[in-house]
Structure 1
Amino acid sequence: MKKFLNLHKIPLLIFLSCCAFYLAFAYDLERTDFFKLSSLYGGLFFLSWKFFQMQRYNLKILLAAAVVFRVLFLFATPNLSQDFFRFIWDGRLLLQGINPYLTTPNEIFSSGSLPFSGARELYDGMGSLSAGNPTSYPPLNQVFFAFAALLGGKSIMTSVIWLRITIIAADIGIFYLGKKLLKHLKLPESNIFLYLLNPLIIIELTGNLHFEGLMLFFLVAALYLLQRQKWLFSALLFSCSVALKLIPLMFLPLLFRRLGWKKAITYYAVTGVLLLLFFLPFLSGEFAENFFSSINLWFQKFEFNASFYYLIRWIGFQVEGYNIIAIAGPAMAAVVFVSVISLSIFRKNSEGRGLVTSMMFASAIYLFLATTVHPWYLATPLLLSVFTRYKFVQVWSLMVVLSYFAYSQPDYAENLWLIAVEYVIVFGVMFFEIFSQRPQSFSAEDAKVDLKIPHEAK
């Protein structure tokens, strides 16, 4: 034991320091305390990176650390987001046989008849914005919400724990399948920990219960099966990914060259039919109007941590004298669509690395042009980036903490100078990587070493 401690005392010290930082983040932090939040976040980034560097070839230790860091949050109330109140609300509505797409929490309260006990606490917790709109979470999300509400009973905290266990399980699945996909792509298997040990992922997904992690599990599973030429099973899992979050829909055109036109059409058809089956139990005359109106809010009403949109908004004020989000939002969505089609036509997506790289850039372009970029939105391009040579999204996942300055202000006002710093650094790193053609952080020799390490050592 003494010999082990002597050999591993620095990694052990870093691990324990990370545990202390995560405990402070989970149980002793108010999101209004920006200095403490950003200090903990920056410290975790540095410590996690050093731990990864020191243990890069010991996947078992890295996995154990990743799981421990997540388990530390198990009994914590999410402190950076209140979305979980709406998750549990939707789940409890489903258990009562009420379609969450057809009514808003405000409408239920106005009726004077509360559908379940504890409704007032959930209603007060979710905030006025969520309470005033129909749910925008796709149907497979709703299944997991109902599952957590069922197991949680009348306890909000027990439901939170079950939501958290689901997300942790998804991350373990990402480790298992992501490692296999990296091996198929002849990349270091340890790259998967650039996602799993990233503080953004641990804090925002496990800590604050955002379901991007589960969506990404199904997406990675679909990509792995696609790489194994099992494209019909891939379509099944891809549809599950979309039924959790709609974002993967943008990747469908990129699969065309990888599959060829006959298989691609079948893949799209299978995905479409399965999605219809997911939505079928909720379909009604009002469903489409309510669901898509809620989604449309993100393009025409909400603004947070945007990049190009804030420039366009400033130009709109100079030229028109008012906020042009109602015009700019849909216009930028159209630019995203054209960009994805261009990536599908002009990039070589027929092989695995090229396809994943195009998917990463498609998701990054979407976020660069979005009116709202919450930190957890970066989970998608961050995970895809570990299968590429690009690291600018990892830098972005560090700089995005600057956006939380808004929560330290009474009126949630953003500091546009901080937002500018965030994006200047991100764009600077991205363009440097694109135009310098710098080598990967892991050389070909590193990959050979990683892939040849005996199984016992991992």
Structure 2
Amino acid sequence: MGQFSFRKESVALAVVFTAAIMVLGFIADQSRFEIILGGYFVAFLTFYFIWKSALEQDLTFYLGLAILIRLALVFAFPQLSDDVFRFIWDGRLINHGYNPFHYLPQDIMAEGWAHPWLDESLFKNLNSQEYHTIYPPVAQAVFAVSTWMFPSSVYWSAVVMKIFILLFEIGTLMLIPSLLRMMNFSPKNVLIYALNPLVIVEVVGNLHFEGVMVFFLLLSIYLLLSTRFYWSAVAMAFSIASKLLPLLFLMFFIKRLGWRLAAIYFALIAAVLVILHLPLIDGIFLANFGSSLDLYFQKFEFNASIYYLLRWLGYIFSGYNLIYYIGPVLATFTFLGILRASIKEKEYPMGKLPLRMLFAICLYLAFTPTVHPWYAILPLTLCMFTDFRFPVVWSGLITLTYINYSYDPYFENLLVVGLEYLVVYFWGLMELKKSNYLPLKKLTHLKFFR
């Protein structure tokens, strides 16, 4: 009877959860924050109940649910992000023999390229008309295949891209339980990723390649723990070639592998990356890709934490926005902070690698000027293999930033940003204080931490 009662409860929660996700995938759009808020509230509430009440024997049911929901979202056109239009733009350029890293969209239109596949309607939907593309080769390959299959359909090109991402997501959901067992964590932790509304909506729903990066990153860790050293390096290269963020983690491999093996590991990664970039790389690629990365730290701003505090101080003392200086300085601090953490490590078992990675990505996100909702997916993934849960809290709160797109004209609601980070930093510090991972003796003299 107890088992039947729980199954009935599971089905009821699954129905409510699925309905909320379908609203977010098929009905919500950036201008209707009340729908986004309501959908995410219901989805996260039911996710929490599922996560806390699930038994180990229920995981097959919930993993099946996670896959079916993702499958349904394959046919929902991305409503909360317009990045898909740049994906299609880049893919169409590649299919017609043009390197997408060579040409600015605004220059193409200004020069009057007479190509029906780069029409005005597609151009108007681009959110980065004056910037070179920043998407690495794995993503570009998916763009090219999808637009080759459906050269004149934005919708069906997006569907094909989503099918690729769905396959990677299924791979991730198969990998996580094995990794959790290898690291002696509860199998229930898989639900943190499998049924997290942010992951489902942003990866398959809104077509963000964090899902591809996560798959190859977890595959790399799995292969490393399985002593398949060379294949681990290949998988890490593919993760970096999907999104550049895993580069932040490489310093933590040096002590774990030793200098000689680490050098071989990094050389393999570099070799695979060169091969993956061969169809695109040349002098123009290097210059334009580098300039786009510079712009990321010197021009773009969204949902930042420490950067916004420094920007505010900059306004007080100089009277204008100092992002041109603050962005690169914070990027340097991020690198030095991760370097110092890797050097200071006294114990470096492989099982603690996700914890160090979590530290690195959180340091990066604390300092970067731009933190979109889907950026929280990587720390959320890594927290499954640690005792920290503040990324789960963050994955819910960061969705509040969609309120900014509901304003006409657009502006950023800094009260929402402040609330988001106040809760996340407080939660993280409280978890850190309870943990044995980092010494907090320097903080314990503060009454706040007693």
What TM-score comes out, normalization by structure 2 length?
A: 0.93
- For residues 309 and 193 of structure 1, do their structure 2 counterparts lie closer, same or farther at Cα, with a shift above 3 Å needed? same
Cα distance in structure 2, aligned partners of 1:272 and 1:358? 22
What secondary structure sits across from 2:217 in the alignment?
Answer: helix
2:444: which partner in 1? none
1:27-46 equivalent positions in 2, closer than 5 A: 27-46=26-45
1:330: which partner in 2? 328
CA contact (8 A) 1:48 1:198 kept: yes
Cα distance in structure 1, aligned partners of 2:6 and 2:371? 43
Matched, 1:177 2:180: no
2:448: which partner in 1? none
- For residues 117 and 50 of structure 1, do their structure 2 counterparts lie closer, same or farther at Cα, with a shift above 3 Å needed? same
Post-superposition shift, 1:230? 1.5
- For residues 269 and 28 of structure 1, do their structure 2 counterparts lie closer, same or farther at Cα, with a shift above 3 Å needed? same
Post-superposition shift, 1:402? 1.8
Aligned match for 1:244, one of 242, 245, 264:
242
Cα distance in structure 2, aligned partners of 1:118 and 1:282? 20
Cα distance in structure 1, aligned partners of 2:4 and 2:436? 38
- For residues 389 and 114 of structure 1, do their structure 2 counterparts lie closer, same or farther at Cα, with a shift above 3 Å needed? farther
The answer to which of 27-36 and 351-360 deviates more is: 27-36
Matched, 1:191 2:189: yes
What secondary structure sits across from 2:125 in the alignment?
Answer: helix
1:164-243 equivalent positions in 2, closer than 5 A: 164-243=162-241
1:379-398 equivalent positions in 2, closer than 5 A: 379-398=377-396
Q: Let me know the Cα RMSD of the aligned residues.
A: 1.8
1:64: which partner in 2? 64
- Give per-residue Cα distances to partners, 1:341-375, cap 9 Å, x unaligned: 12211235631332110001100110010100000
Cα distance in structure 2, aligned partners of 1:118 and 1:329? 33
What secondary structure sits across from 2:279 in the alignment?
Answer: helix
- For residues 237 and 53 of structure 1, do their structure 2 counterparts lie closer, same or farther at Cα, with a shift above 3 Å needed? same
- Give per-residue Cα distances to partners, 1:33-74, cap 9 Å, x unaligned: 222211211210110121233334122111111112212212
Post-superposition shift, 1:7? 5.2
2:153: which partner in 1? 155
CA contact (8 A) 1:52 1:62 kept: no
Cα distance in structure 2, aligned partners of 1:116 and 1:110? 15
Post-superposition shift, 1:438? 8.5
Q: Percent same amino acid at aligned positions?
A: 36
CA contact (8 A) 1:242 1:249 kept: yes
Post-superposition shift, 1:167? 1.3
Cα distance in structure 2, aligned partners of 1:434 and 1:144? 39
CA contact (8 A) 1:108 1:114 kept: no
Moved over 4 A (4+): 2-7
CA contact (8 A) 2:28 2:80 kept: no
1:450: which partner in 2? none
Cα distance in structure 1, aligned partners of 2:27 and 2:271? 47
The answer to which of 408-417 and 109-118 deviates more is: 109-118
Letter in 2 for 1:108: I
Letter in 2 for 1:373: V
Cα distance in structure 1, aligned partners of 2:436 and 2:288? 47
- Give per-residue Cα distances to partners, 1:251-290, cap 9 Å, x unaligned: 1111111111110011111111211122222122211111
What secondary structure sits across from 1:282 in the alignment?
Answer: coil
Aligned pairs, how many?
Answer: 436
Cα distance in structure 2, aligned partners of 1:217 and 1:348? 29
1:444: which partner in 2? none
What secondary structure sits across from 2:278 in the alignment?
Answer: helix
Cα distance in structure 2, aligned partners of 1:438 and 1:331? 31
- Give per-residue Cα distances to partners, 1:388-438, cap 9 Å, x unaligned: 000011111111012111111112211111111100100001110111238
What TM-score comes out, normalization by structure 1 length?
A: 0.92
The answer to which of 199-208 and 429-438 deviates more is: 429-438
Cα distance in structure 2, aligned partners of 1:322 and 1:117? 41
Matched, 1:113 2:121: no
CA contact (8 A) 2:302 2:370 kept: yes
Structure 2 stretches lacking a partner, 5+ long: 438-450
1:378: which partner in 2? 376
The answer to which of 90-99 and 328-337 deviates more is: 90-99
Structure 1 stretches lacking a partner, 5+ long: 440-458
Matched, 1:22 2:21: yes
CA contact (8 A) 1:185 1:352 kept: no
